[in-house]
Chains A and B, each alone.
Chain A
Amino acid sequence: MNMLDGLIAALQLSFSVDPRIIEITLRSLFVSGSAALIAALWGIPIATIIAMKDFHGKFLIKTIFNSLIGIPTVALGFLLFLAFSREGGPLGFLRLLYTPTAVIIGEAILITPIIVSLATTAIEAVDPEIANLARTLGASEAQASFAVLKEALEGIFLASIASFNRAIGELGIAQFVGGFIYGQTELLTTGIWIELQLGNPRTSIALMIILLTMVFTINLALNAIQRMRGREWKPLLNLET
């Protein structure tokens, strides 16, 4: 079979209703979606505090979160593997190693700096008088903070999508703490890798096509929303900065 035939076969597999492919895709969506949700749940309040409060060490904390955006997934994955290891790992008693939960936790940690940094920037970009405006119209402190968050909603939404993209595309953590347990922890990224090792390049290519299609579709949809709103589209995230 030449390369073209292989690619066609992989494309057919991508758009087939192969139950295994569907299961891997859904699991990936669930794991990365849960990680993005958890990161948003703790990341947005952290970003709100950093952006809206003045305190000593604010610059240092912002710098730390910014620096952690570029943490290599293989390093974080290895550290988490050591932590979750059932042989002497401090969190080994939780018996989470090689479970989807471990991957969710790992990815949530990975993407927290992204959501904190981007959401902080989005909140800081809101006109500083918005909080005072809400206050003078009768808002309590909590309502005033909410008014600011509402103004930054688009930026926060983009931060969440950027973090989801990072989670669904990473391999290191999924490999180290998820492993390759057939029918349990196999994800799109780990699937691409393991199927190639097992001599099934067609399945690898099919999974890769699905992964890329998903990421591009999400970004294209966002692009369309932004255009409808008459604003200029900017790349979601430069992970190296």
Chain B
Amino acid sequence: MEAIVELRNVTKTFAKKTVLDSVNLQILDGEILALLGPNGSGKTTLLKILASILRPTNGEIHLCGVKVTDQNVEKIRMESTLVFQKTVLFSMTVYDNIAYGLRIRRATKNEIDYKVAQVLKLVRLEGFEKRPARKLSGGEQQRVALARALVLNTRLLLLDEPTANLDPKNAAIIEEAIATTNRELKTTIVVATHNMFQAKNLPHRIALIEDGRITEVGTSTEIFGRLSKTLASFAAVENTFAGTAKISENGSTLIDVGNSVHIVAVAKNVGEVTVFVSPEDIILSKSRFESSARNMFKGKIVELLDMDSVVRLKVDVGKTFTVQITKRSFNEMGLNLNTEVFLAFKASSVQII
């Protein structure tokens, strides 16, 4: 596969703060590349530069063999499109939102009607054309935003944490639409994520990014297969913990991740490991409860983040876990900062990476 995008020594500074530092990266035609890194590592800035809506302070970008300059930037933008992490919609109907880019490309009315209907089917929002986009639920809004990008069929599709704030159902629809687009249209996709599990399963290659630098690039097997120092240092990535695994007397794998937190896993690993638990797999309760889950911890809520239909909570149990629950559960349980809660998750939900 040949490179569709090439970044050469790309640096971006904002008010003397270096956000990207000499980034060199090739993105191959038709691949899904995951940019994996903690919050604040420079993923969004890199995507905006790839989308040509932000110009680098130094360095060069070549898209489809053409060097991006101030003169050709508006034309080159047509080759790529970015879906933002925070859903941004025009205050128009779903149809008009999706038609926006097609109209700029001077598509005919019939062509727009056909393409909008097709893409709405892909994101499972058939019949939503006339609905005001901003009145939809958070998950539906993000699907409209994805549809608006997919309909343009650009050579390069850039996705910034496309499922970060979504419930599992909406996240699954979006992941499926991304995979289908790549498989059927051979669209090159760059997806920024700090979700280890998504990074492991969706992309062909992974680029690790930390403090504005690309530290490693490789296939999923290469990156997760060898326990890289970079990956181990990704403690900042949510629910990812480095620790030491041993097989306990009863035959289960026990991972000591520090601060007296021991996680039980199914996989039989020993020695230094990094584990990941998806926030959606964690059950939250205000009291200790009987369950088949092998992992149960008591802790306090230290952070709350309202994400429209879901609420993300950070719970300190000695280590900080991120948990995602629906807004309804959150309200019914009467949770607040410093509320004492119990976390539970199955040993089979623990991914050793």
Contacts and interface: CB of A to CB of B under 8 A. Distances in A.
A135 B77 contact: yes
B81 A141 contact: no
Contact of A136 (B53, B90, B91, B105): B53
Nearest to A126: B91
The 3 closest A-B pairs by CB, nearest first: A137-B101, A138-B104, A136-B82
25 contacts: A129-B84, A129-B88, A130-B88, A132-B53, A132-B84, A133-B84, A133-B88, A133-B90, A134-B100, A135-B52, A135-B77, A136-B51, A136-B81, A136-B82, A136-B149, A137-B81, A137-B101, A137-B104, A138-B78, A138-B101, A138-B104, A138-B105, A139-B104, A140-B74, A150-B90
Contacts of B268: none
B48 interface: yes
B121 interface: no
B148 interface: yes
B152 interface: yes
A133 B104 CA distance: 13
A135 B53 contact: yes
Most-contacted residue by chain B among A127, A129, A138, A139 (CB, 10 A): A138
B51 to A, nearest CB: 5
B86 interface: yes
A23 B39 CA distance: 67
A137 B77 CA distance: 8
Contacts of B74: 140-141
B188 interface: no
A138 B106 CA distance: 11
Given A143-B104, A151-B91, A136 B80 contact: yes
Nearest to B92: A150
Interface in B27-77: 48, 51-53, 74, 77
A224 to B, nearest CB: 19
A194 to B, nearest CB: 47
B86 A138 contact: no
A135 B84 CA distance: 12
Contacts of B90: 130, 133, 147, 150-151
A140 B51 CA distance: 14
A136 B82 CA distance: 6
B164 to A, nearest CB: 16
Contacts of A147: 90
A174 B62 CA distance: 62
Given A132-B48, A136-B51, A136-B80, 8 more contacts: A129-B86, A130-B90, A137-B101, A137-B148, A137-B149, A138-B104, A139-B104, A147-B90
B279 to A, nearest CB: 25
Nearest to B54: A132
Interface in A95-154: 127, 129-130, 132-141, 143, 147, 150-151
A138 B152 contact: yes
A127 B152 contact: no
Nearest to A150: B90
In the complex, which of the residues A130, A136, A138, A141 has the most CB atoms of chain B within 10 Å of its own CB atom?
A136
Contacts of B80: 136
